[in-house]
Amino acid sequence: MIRTALLVLSTGFVAPVVAATAAVPGDPVPAKPRLFRDWMVACDNGGRCEAASLSSRDSMPQDAGLLIRRDSDGQVTVRVKDQTGQGQRAVVRIDGRVAATIPLIRGSDGEWRGRTALALASALARGRKAVILTPAANALSLNGAGAALRYMDERQKRAGTRTALVARGAAAYRATPPALPVVRVVTPPPGAAPAVPGGRIVAARRLYQCPADAGGPVSAETYRLDGRSTLVLLSCGAGAYNFMVKPLIWRDSRLSPARFDFAFDFAEEPAPGSARTLVNGDWSRDGRLSSWAKGRGLGDCGDAQSFGWDGTRFRLLDAARMTECRGAIDTLTVWRARPVPVGPR
């Protein structure tokens, strides 16, 4: 299996880094997004497909764009976003005709559902020229839109059926959507995390090459995972828009690297016994450890994941990617699991 990451240097420069690793049976294998000219598509392990509009390569990043989602049950939604945050209503015009209109929430977001979304998606696939009015006119490239939605039809096994967006036929749709993997996630117990001796933190900085003068904020945040384990997010440097941490586990008076069933590696695959790197890592009250590696300061590209603690390691709950830094309004889902909460141990 080939894992791809974004290496962000202290200057903010972004360079792709590819590390070859051996896949372990049962480990998550996120999907690879596909590029169709000015549209990016991804279909995840649960049968959900998403397609995002991109700005043309020779133009500035789009101020307004679309994201088309079709769930495994056939439901279609189309999201629109005015990235200036100043719009009140969005109007999509295709080949000179109004295809859809919707008020924008908080000046930026709107979503069409049901028949309106289905009709809009089909019109985008057939259209030649489109614009999003917010009320400013934002060109929407349709180059690759039809191919992107046809790819969605194929991946969802709808091609040739009456339910297809583009590749329609007379057949009935009979495919069974794949089931999401189930992950048992420990609910964190209440109360403050136990203190980790300062000497152990200093030693960990030396061991994992995270000196206090590596740049960026210096921290070692602690969070309770279960009755015996504490998560330590050890700061480990920063770039122009990314803050790195090493996730460690404090248990039985020992500090060791947290284990994961999968991670998009920020740099090269860590050697055995070393600690992974999370980017812009965060811990939520409901027991989710997240990472969001921005490809650039605009945040229109990069890798995002969230993990849950199963009592021994962190398990991937969802992952999203956008490999093109061309103004996409969101990342695309490439992996999902179904978390099942279990009580603290």
Q: How do the domains of the chain map onto residue ranges? A: 32-155, 182-342
C-alpha span between 158 and 147 (Å, rounded):
14
Topology adopted by domain 32-155: Immunoglobulin-like (2.60.40)
Chain segment 67-80, per-residue pLDDT in tens = 999 999 999 999 99
Q: Is this structure's pTM higher than 0.85?
A: yes
pLDDT tens by residue, 248-269: 999 999 999 999 998 665 544 5
- Going by C-beta distance under 8 Å and a sequence separation of 6 or more, which residues neighbour residue 220? 196, 201, 232, 233, 234, 235
pLDDT at 270: 55
Under the banding of pLDDT at 50, 70 and 90, the label for residue 94 is very high
Output the pLDDT for position 58.
81
* Residue position matching structure tokens 């307004």: 64
Higher pLDDT, 81 or 273: 81
Tokens of 111: 């979503």
Q: What is the pLDDT of residue 307?
A: 97
Whether residue 15 is predicted with pLDDT greater than 60 in this model: the reply is no
- Determine the pLDDT at residue 44: 98
Percent of the chain exceeding pLDDT 70 equals 89
Question: What are 203-245's pLDDT values in tens digits?
Answer: 999 999 999 887 778 999 999 999 999 999 999 999 889 999 9
DSSP assignment string, 159-216: TTBTT-SSS--SBPP-PPPPPPPEEEEEPPPSSPPPPPPHHHHHHHHHHTT--TTSSS
Q: Tell me: the pLDDT tens digits for 95-124?
A: 999 999 999 999 999 999 999 999 999 999
CA angle in degrees (0–180, nearest 5) for 236-238-244: 45
**In the structure, what pLDDT confidence band is assigned to residue 273 with cuts at 50, 70 and 90?**
low
C-alpha span between 344 and 239 (Å, rounded): 36
Q: What is the pLDDT of residue 343?
A: 86
> Which residue in this structure is represented by tokens 């048992």?
184
Closest by CA to 42, choosing from 331, 338, 303, 337, is 331
Please determine, for residue 10, whether its predicted confidence score (pLDDT) is greater than 60.
no
Contacts of 136 by beta carbon, 8 Å cutoff, 6+ apart: 63, 64, 84, 87
Work out the pLDDT band at 5, boundaries 50, 70, 90: very low
Instruction: Note the pLDDT of residue 20.
Output: 33
What integer pLDDT is reported at residue 6 of this predicted model?
Answer: 40
pLDDT tens-digit profile of 129-161? 999 999 999 999 999 999 999 999 999 999 999
- The yes-or-no verdict on residue 46 having pLDDT over 60 is yes
Average pLDDT, the chain: 89
* Three-class DSSP category at 333: strand
d(CA 280, CA 261): 19
Residues comprising the chain, all counted? 345
What per-residue confidence (pLDDT) applies to 27? 86
pLDDT reading at 8 higher than 60: no
Residue type, 319: A
**For 299-309, how does the pLDDT look when each residue is reduced to its tens digit (9 = 90+)?**
999 999 999 99
Residues 6+ apart with CB under 8 A from 187: 286, 287, 341, 342, 343, 344
pLDDT at 239: 87
